[in-house]
Chain A
């Protein structure tokens, strides 16, 4: 991407950060915008959305009244076990209905019977009830003339919180492996503006649904770079939801991905793999109590039409090759997120030993063939910075859970350790492996803080950088079907946003 393009493209991002900085009062859990409760009124009516390159597209949306419809429809945030009532009113020229895949005891009253469920027409609303019996990520959409009405925008997300949900220790499914620090919604869809124009002009007979040729791609109803603008931005009245994932290193970010269009959207996230723990609102589990033991790691999640996915994304400095905190000494404080993988000694380790067996939760996540820099510290201390005798070692897997170990690095002393003591991968104190070029030899991106270290700003020439006030790291998260990075053939745009990794002192709302 050329610098100028990045500039245009990130203007809104800077604005976002500005607002975030002004409004935040310290760290808080980022969450998904939506409406909560057990009883909802939704009105289906026409409206217009805006696209970043300046277009305005006629659509059919859902909202609280005819003047406040939105794309996608409101995200319904429900609680497990609640009986939900949704009354659908229509101001559309053809019957409309709603279906709720994955919900239980779905019933419909009123209106008239359609092919799939009961349908609403102006003056004849339908009341749907269902039991949100299971936690998870779901969607709802029109069950009438679906080829056209899904295209026109009649769908939305449903999130069901697990029983006993604690906002201060949230989980997606009530299991420990579904716990998260932040959650974001990625509802991916597309539009063919020609069809919308035919509907706007009432030329229904000219619509050929099988000839759909989308040219706009959306995350949560917005195209990039609007995805990164604030939620409820007043200049996007019918597209209230943004998609601006931000996190601190080491946190668990829950991605709730929904394929809401007719096409597959290969949603690709830079920075790390994510572990898919659930599909269609069901934990990928081999049995009760086993958690997401059938989960799988992916760097692209193919959002298939009508499917939902829950994935846990984590990012640390692990295996980056340098200490991105810029620490110079072991006496610097250990940062949260630095020690994402912690194993325990399965047997005592004598001072002269070069072999160690590791167990515990983190053991399997030690790399197979690479030597990694680790810390050993006593189980008497919760973290290595509390243990004055902690030791810097290099660890490489030999076979199974047997590791070879190099001792006494960087001024520490090879000591004897006990069974149960901790071993954690760290890049703490590792210097940046290369000398950075002089500024006159660099081309700057608007995101570059002037420093390769998280949270550090360096000297930049006048007019460079400036869109990264907290000196974070940024990764593009986008549909990897590259034409979906366009807004009606204009790059960049489409189903794309950026993940921001912010240092701990940066607030995230």
Chain B
């Protein structure tokens, strides 16, 4: 809007443009070169609370993101993990407008993308939040821009009060496409179809403490040090019979993008098959190793290719054994990839 206003002033009204104004215009335009040059993937995210029902029937308050159509529309559904932010091939700019309906300030960062961060500091200079924040009930969106998006699987999350907000559910996947049929600019990353698995976990006691205002200094739960997750998820769902992820046709090269939003590492096994690890942390691996267990660091991402799987359901499980739902056995980070 500001650029537009200046341009209008320059080219329609002013008789002899002031040199200072020119300098300002050039400076502003150079700042916005990338957004002007390429199509920008633009998302209106809203952080808000919602309720998830655990497989045991327990209801847990979570904090998630919703994808709204515009700021203030509040027409998106709040989910954990948050909506997938997908960038089409060639799109190198990601813009997120943040709306905050939570009781505390929230911010956004994308792990795997370099962007200018504006930390929020305490009066004594210590950093309190890693990026500029949207205050509760903000009337204007807070906008974050990345102009250097490279192909890959990345993770966005809150950059404020991380020990609470990330485990409350403020995270999601960023998927930047390379070109048709390739995850990266490498030959082994070519694929026929793709699946996204976002791993998560919930400590219901900590959620309860945060939701009921019993978390913080001087309150019943003073910190997240006693974090003990009891529910484990793939794409926001614990395993329940009948759950599967459509993966592709038998024999296809299937790309599995894995985002680990758990606060601990996970070790995914794909039915004991070897998979090809073609990406790590949003960057390609030049010599993809073969593994029958895929290590994903806490907050990390991996891209793997499953080659020539036969028709049927390929079980996927976490060898770190996040395989339970509360006291219930046989659930958690377990699903089937369906090849049909």
A contact residues vs B (CB 8 Å cutoff): 99-103, 106, 115-116, 145-148, 150-151, 205, 207-212, 259, 262-264, 279-282, 284, 286, 294, 304-307
Contacts and interface: CB of A to CB of B under 8 A. Distances in A.
A263 B318 CA distance: 12
Interface stretch (B100-108, B182-190, B265-273): B265-273
Contacts of A279: 289, 291
Secondary structure call for the B interface: loop
A280 B228 contact: no
Given A101-B272, A147-B329, A210 B315 contact: no
17 contacts: A103-B272, A146-B321, A146-B323, A147-B324, A147-B332, A148-B329, A208-B327, A210-B231, A210-B324, A211-B230, A212-B321, A262-B321, A280-B290, A306-B269, A306-B292, A306-B293, A306-B319
Interface in B297-340: 315, 317, 319-324, 326-327, 329-330, 332, 334
A503 B228 CA distance: 50
A305 B267 contact: yes
B291 A210 contact: no
Contacts of A146: 317, 319, 321, 323
A106 B272 contact: yes
B287 interface: yes
Interface in B200-258: 228-232
Given A147-B324, A262-B320, A307-B293, A115 B228 contact: no
Given A280-B293, A282-B274, A304-B265, A147 B287 contact: no
A280 B274 contact: yes
Interface residues of chain A: helix, strand, loop or mixed (majority): loop
B324 A304 contact: no
Contact of B292 (A262, A263, A280, A294): A280
A101 B293 contact: yes
Question: Chain B CB within 10 Å — which of A103, A116, A209, A294 has the most?
Answer: A209
The 6 closest A-B pairs by CB, nearest first: A306-B319, A306-B293, A101-B272, A101-B292, A262-B321, A147-B323
Nearest to A286: B287
Contacts of B146: none
Given A99-B271, A306-B319, 19 more contacts: A100-B272, A106-B272, A115-B315, A145-B330, A146-B319, A208-B326, A211-B230, A259-B267, A279-B289, A282-B290, A282-B291, A294-B289, A304-B267, A304-B295, A305-B293, A305-B320, A306-B269, A306-B293, A307-B295
Contacts of A304: 265, 267, 293, 295
A275 to B, nearest CB: 16
A209 B332 CA distance: 11
Interface residues of B, number: 32
A296 B58 CA distance: 47
A210 B322 contact: yes
A115 B269 CA distance: 14
Given A115-B315, A207-B327, A307-B267, A282 B289 contact: yes
B321 A150 contact: yes
Nearest to B329: A145
Interface of B: 228-232, 265, 267, 269, 271-272, 274, 287, 289-293, 295, 315, 317, 319-324, 326-327, 329-330, 332, 334
A259 B293 CA distance: 11
Which of B271, B272, B290, B330 is most buried by chain A, counting CB atoms within 10 A of its CB? B272
B291 A307 contact: yes
Contacts of A286: 287
B319 to A, nearest CB: 3
A208 B230 contact: yes
Contacts of A294: 287, 289
B292 to A, nearest CB: 4
A279 B289 CA distance: 8
Nearest to B265: A264
B282 to A, nearest CB: 21
A161 B330 CA distance: 35
Nearest to B274: A102
A165 B289 CA distance: 25
Contact of A147 (B228, B272, B290, B321): B321
A116 B324 contact: no
A208 B271 CA distance: 25
B291 A280 contact: yes
A101 B320 CA distance: 15
Given A115-B315, A116-B317, A210 B287 contact: no
A71 to B, nearest CB: 17
A150 B291 CA distance: 20
B319 A305 contact: yes
B101 to A, nearest CB: 30
A26 to B, nearest CB: 40
A406 B315 CA distance: 64
Contacts of A116: 271, 315, 317
A115 B334 contact: yes
A290 to B, nearest CB: 10
A210 B54 CA distance: 15
Contacts of A102: 272, 274, 292
